[in-house]
Copies of this chain bind each other. A is one copy, B any other.
């Protein structure tokens, strides 16, 4: 897509300083701007790049006083950052709206329905008795089993696998290769030491505005539902076990794993590569540091923990400071023992 600088300025209710007929066809950081690119300058730390950038146009604050001549065409606005965010959104909406229709071959089983303005990519698969909303994008190789429901404007990227009976809300994003509804890891030990699979007949429920990262895995409940409440964002390669419940507006960073039947509160932050044991509860607004191993429930809202096993973040920092000097401490104790 190509636009003139004037068209962009009109969209942002800004003023052009330079050539309004110049054309831009991509967005770029100001320090990486090349001809055809549109950039923005918000943080004054980056102002030096304004005078050297190769970008065709730059969105700047009306209030900015130029210190040197600028070769780029300028678009003057009140708040460059929010103007640029607006542009990004318009851009993504245009991209999304342009993706409509059905590519063949694709598969939809009996009694399944899908709303208007949808996209179904080639080789996508929808089982029986599914109810799919309007404006839904189902990319190539996405798989939806039987009895799946998907709300309006949800995007299911290439090769995501949604097992039967999963319920997905509206405005969700499921990234490529994510698996939702696989069997929980439940095996009953037998007398001879072998294991027998416990049938997993529950499902997964994702509420609205939930995002699931690439190649993340969310197991179905043994019975009942594994639930991710609205607005929660799950990063790539995260593992959510059977019967877990995660509250609203919680963020779970990459490669974290949450074991079976654990409940995570609302507005929590789990950093990367965290592990949480099964059958515990984590209070609202808990923050868990990267690579922590959480073995006990967190009862107080707003707790910050770190470590494996995890405990109070500040105390953990103090302990780690001493840990790094342990050989010295040991030596001091030896010296004391020699004296005593």
Residue numbers of A with Cβ under 8 A of B are 27-29, 32, 85, 88-89, 91-92, 103, 105, 107, 121-123, 125, 139-141, 143, 145, 157-159, 161, 163, 173, 175-177, 179, 182-183, 185, 187, 193-195, 197-199, 201, 209, 211, 213-215, 217, 219, 223-224, 231, 233, 235-237, 239, 241, 248-249, 251, 253-255, 257, 259, 267, 272-273, 275, 277, 290-291, 293, 308-309, 311, 315, 318-327, 329-330, 332-333, 336-337, 339-340
Give the contacting residue for A143; candidates B139, B209, B327; CB below 8 A. B139
Does B107 contact A185, Cβ atoms closer than 8 Å? no
**Which 7 A-B pairs have CB atoms at the shortest separation, nearest pair first?**
A322-B326, A161-B176, A182-B214, A179-B214, A88-B199, A143-B158, A217-B236
Given the complex, which residues of B lie within 8 Å of A195, measured CB to CB? Answer: 231, 233, 249, 251
State in angstroms the CA–CA spacing of A322 and B329 once bound together: 9
Given the complex, which residues of B lie within 8 Å of A122, measured CB to CB? Answer: 107, 125
Q: Name which residue of chain B comes closest to A145, CB basis.
A: B158
Does A257 contact B275, Cβ atoms closer than 8 Å? no
State in angstroms the CA–CA spacing of A267 and B194 once bound together: 8
State in angstroms the CA–CA spacing of A186 and B338 once bound together: 52
Q: A182-B236, A217-B214 are in contact. Are A318 and B327 (CB under 8 A)?
A: yes
Give the contacting residue for A273; candidates B158, B249, B275, B330; CB below 8 A. B275
Minimum CB–CB distance for A209 against chain B, Å = 8
Minimum CB–CB distance for A115 against chain B, Å = 22
Does A327 contact B333, Cβ atoms closer than 8 Å? no
Chain A contact residues: helix, strand, loop or mixed: loop
Besides the known contacts A217-B236, A239-B254, 13 further A-B residue pairs in the complex with CB atoms under 8 A apart: A121-B125, A161-B176, A175-B179, A176-B179, A182-B213, A185-B213, A195-B231, A217-B254, A255-B255, A319-B324, A323-B326, A333-B333, A339-B340
State in angstroms the CA–CA spacing of A29 and B225 once bound together: 11
Given the complex, which residues of B lie within 8 Å of A32, measured CB to CB? Answer: 223-224
State in angstroms the CA–CA spacing of A267 and B181 once bound together: 27
State in angstroms the CA–CA spacing of A263 and B323 once bound together: 28
Does A239 contact B255, Cβ atoms closer than 8 Å? yes
- Write 7 A-B pairs (CB below 8 A) sorted by A numbering: A107-B122, A139-B143, A175-B182, A182-B214, A255-B255, A291-B308, A322-B330
Minimum CB–CB distance for A332 against chain B, Å = 5
Does A201 contact B88, Cβ atoms closer than 8 Å? yes
Q: A32-B224, A239-B255, A329-B322 are in contact. Are A103 and B92 (CB under 8 A)?
A: no
Q: A161-B177, A291-B308, A337-B336 are in contact. Are A211 and B197 (CB under 8 A)?
A: yes
State in angstroms the CA–CA spacing of A315 and B326 once bound together: 10
Minimum CB–CB distance for A214 against chain B, Å = 4
State in angstroms the CA–CA spacing of A287 and B249 once bound together: 36
State in angstroms the CA–CA spacing of A194 and B232 once bound together: 8
State in angstroms the CA–CA spacing of A198 and B26 once bound together: 17
Minimum CB–CB distance for A199 against chain B, Å = 4
State in angstroms the CA–CA spacing of A266 and B139 once bound together: 36
Does B143 contact A88, Cβ atoms closer than 8 Å? no
